[in-house]
């Protein structure tokens, strides 16, 4: 069979190259979704036996959907985020060790170094400041209060909480609970994840972790809430 000349391949080849240049491939392992995770201090401290005087949802982290512990040589340095510390101490507190940087160090090492694969988050200051920016824009505590979802000794239907978040933000959250013990008939609200794409536009969250990340979540005290079990949203004074 005669070989086709380079010239005869010219037009298809140019078209192919044009398509590739119009839709560039993402760098390997670059995340496509990032998860802003809030936790409810009363629930967390009820499980971990920490002292809590916080009555609003606090930041747990900003987690890319791909990768963990991406750069062990890139160490946390609090001097790079010194201007953010007053806000972080309030909005992103270490509930176990309030005067320590250990929580932020952990979040940077595990998640921040992976988030930093994107130019928009490629420094510690960019990463932590973006998390704070998204947290304040969402203002989750105020939105729940606005629609009468407040800490209470009375139980909520899961659909009430999920519906408020979906209707207000226009996307599906991932809501996590501490599942009921043998002596309880309700699950306890603990964590709410709201997701963004790489342009920081809101997108639906996945109900389950990707398989590659499941091995890193075994120690979590939270799991996806059950649709048909009542939800307890514990007030500040509550201890589990």
State the catalytic residues: 60, 107, 111
Which single residue is written with the structure tokens 């270490």?
Answer: 94
How far apart (Å, rounded) are the C-alpha atoms in residues 72 and 193?
26
Q: Computed from CA positions of residues 31, 32, 38, 43, in that sequence, does the dihedral angle turn out positive or negative? A: negative
Which single residue is written with the structure tokens 């010194």?
Answer: 82
Following DSSP, what letter does each residue of 38-90 receive, concatenated?
Answer: EE-HHHHHHHHT------S-EEEEEEESS-SS--TTS---GGGGGGGHHHHHH
91 contacts 237 by C-beta, under 8 angstroms: no
Q: Based on the number of CB atoms within 10 Å of its own CB, is 184 exposed (0-12), middle (13-18) or buried (19 or more)?
A: middle
Nearest 5°: phi and psi at 130? -65, -40
DSSP code, position 223 = E
230 contacts 185 by C-beta, under 8 angstroms: yes
């Amino acid at each position: 069979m005669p070989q086709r000349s380079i010239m005869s391949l010219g037009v298809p080849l140019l078209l192919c190259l044009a398509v590739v240049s119009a839709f560039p491939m993402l760098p390997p392992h670059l995340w496509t979704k990032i998860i802003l995770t809030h936790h409810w201090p009363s629930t967390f401290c009820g499980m971990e036996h920490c002292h809590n005087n916080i009555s609003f949802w606090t930041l747990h982290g900003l987690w890319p959907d791909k990768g963990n512990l991406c750069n062990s040589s890139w160490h946390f340095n609090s001097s790079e985020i010194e201007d953010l510390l007053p806000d972080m101490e309030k909005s992103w507190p270490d509930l176990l060790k309030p005067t320590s940087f250990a929580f932020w160090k952990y979040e940077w090492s595990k998640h921040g170094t992976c988030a930093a694969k994107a130019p928009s988050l490629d420094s510690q200051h960019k990463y932590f400041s973006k998390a704070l920016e998204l947290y304040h824009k969402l203002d989750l505590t105020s939105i729940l209060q606005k629609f009468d979802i407040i800490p209470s000794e009375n139980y909520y239907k899961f659909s009430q909480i999920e519906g408020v978040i979906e209707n207000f933000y226009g996307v599906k959250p991932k809501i996590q609970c501490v599942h009921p013990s043998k002596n309880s008939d309700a699950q306890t609200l603990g964590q709410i994840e709201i997701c963004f794409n790489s342009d920081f536009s809101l997108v639906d969250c996945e109900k389950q972790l990707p398989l590659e990340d499941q091995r890193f979540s075994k120690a979590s005290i939270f799991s996806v809430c059950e649709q048909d079990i009542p939800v307890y949203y514990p007030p500040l004074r509550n201890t589990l």
